[in-house]
């Protein structure tokens, strides 16, 4: 019977199930288990692909039969998929004229992450996206940014206006006191340089929230 690699080549990678795809990424099984049963056991233990996505390489490497090399390969496969999705969706023709467009762009990219990321979206005069870049990354409980961290890339991109987006790994999109304080500081600095902050949107697995629609700043 053809193995997963042979079926991927003959029938197409898209025909393989989750277990076979994970088996290809892992490469080998563990003591007493060939790679396919080992992949199935790992998926069950992690709660499927979503659970595996949320497991850090460090945590995954502590599982019997995994180790650092396999854990990093799994994490790399997920990261490649995430980057490919971002690239395929693109940003060049997007317009961000309101909270709904920002949330729709950010939700699939940031909500599943187990760490916090802050993204800067630079807009032109028609509120079309000129660039979208990550400007901060932290742990489960956030990351610290200064107004300079926001304004320097915005001015470099010659942005007419900007939007900030970040995620809450906790799953709760409600803004924290730190989110409110950062939004007010960035908005004030943006007013000084003439590049308005149009919104700051928080996304999470439990939904999304606009700080501006919530009355901040």
Tokens of 105: 């762009």
Classify burial at 177, counting beta carbons within 10 Å of its beta carbon; exposed 0-12, middle 13-18, buried 19 or more: exposed
Strand partners, 136: 118
pLDDT of residue 84: 75
187-213 pLDDT, tens per residue? 999 999 999 999 999 999 999 999 999
19 alpha-carbon distance from chain centroid: 24
Contact criterion met (CB below 8 Å) for 55 and 101: no
Average pLDDT over residues 82-88: 68
Q: Specify if 215 maps to a domain.
A: no
Same domain, 146 and 199: yes
Residue 74 near residue 27 (C-beta atoms within 8 A): no
What Cα–Cα distance (Å) separates residue 91 from each residue in 133, 137, 139?
11, 21, 26
Looking at the fold, whether 100 and 182 belong to one and the same domain comes out as yes
Q: Each residue of 59-78: pLDDT tens digit?
A: 888 888 898 999 999 989 98
Q: Which tokens go with 211?
A: 């700080």
Residue 67 vs residue 91, higher pLDDT: 67
pLDDT digits (tens, 9 = 90+) for 2-58: 688 888 888 888 888 999 999 999 999 888 889 999 999 999 988 888 888 888 888
- Among 87, 122, 150, identify where a domain stops: 87
User: Which of 46-50, 140-144, 169-173, 211-215 is least confident?
Assistant: 140-144
77 and 99 together in one domain: no
**Alpha-carbon gap, residue 75 to 186, rounded angstroms:** 33
CATH of residue 38's domain is 1.10.150
In the chain, % of residues over pLDDT 90: 49
The answer to whether 158 and 105 are in contact (CB under 8 A) is no
Task: Count structural domains, the chain.
Answer: 2
Boundary (domain end) residue, out of 71, 87, 103: 87
Paired residues of 118 in beta bridges: 136, 166
101: exposed, middle or buried (Cβ count in 10 Å: 0-12, 13-18, 19+): middle
Across the chain, mean pLDDT equals 87
* Domain's final residue, options 65, 87, 109: 87
């Amino acid at each position: 019977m053809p193995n997963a690699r042979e079926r991927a080549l003959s029938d197409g990678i898209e025909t393989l199930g989750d277990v076979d795809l994970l088996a290809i990424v892992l490469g080998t099984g563990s003591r007493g288990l060939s790679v396919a049963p080992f992949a199935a056991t790992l998926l069950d233990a992690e709660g499927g692909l979503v659970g595996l996505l949320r497991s850090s390489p460090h945590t995954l490497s502590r599982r019997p039969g995994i180790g650092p090399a396999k854990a990093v390969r799994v994490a790399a496969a997920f990261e490649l998929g995430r980057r490919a999705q971002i690239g395929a969706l693109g940003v060049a023709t997007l317009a961000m004229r309101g909270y709904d467009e920002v949330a729709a762009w950010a939700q699939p990219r940031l909500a599943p992450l187990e760490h916090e990321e802050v993204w800067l979206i630079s807009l032109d005069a028609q509120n079309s996206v000129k660039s979208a870049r990550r400007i901060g990354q932290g742990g489960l409980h956030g990351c610290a940014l200064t107004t300079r961290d926001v304004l320097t890339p915005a001015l470099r991109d010659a942005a007419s206006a900007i939007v900030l987006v970040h995620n809450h790994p906790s799953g709760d999109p409600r803004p924290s006191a730190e989110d409110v304080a950062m939004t007010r500081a960035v908005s004030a600095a943006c007013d000084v340089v003439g590049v308005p902050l149009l919104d700051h949107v928080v996304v999470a697995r439990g939904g999304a929230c606009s700080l501006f629609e919530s009355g901040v700043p």
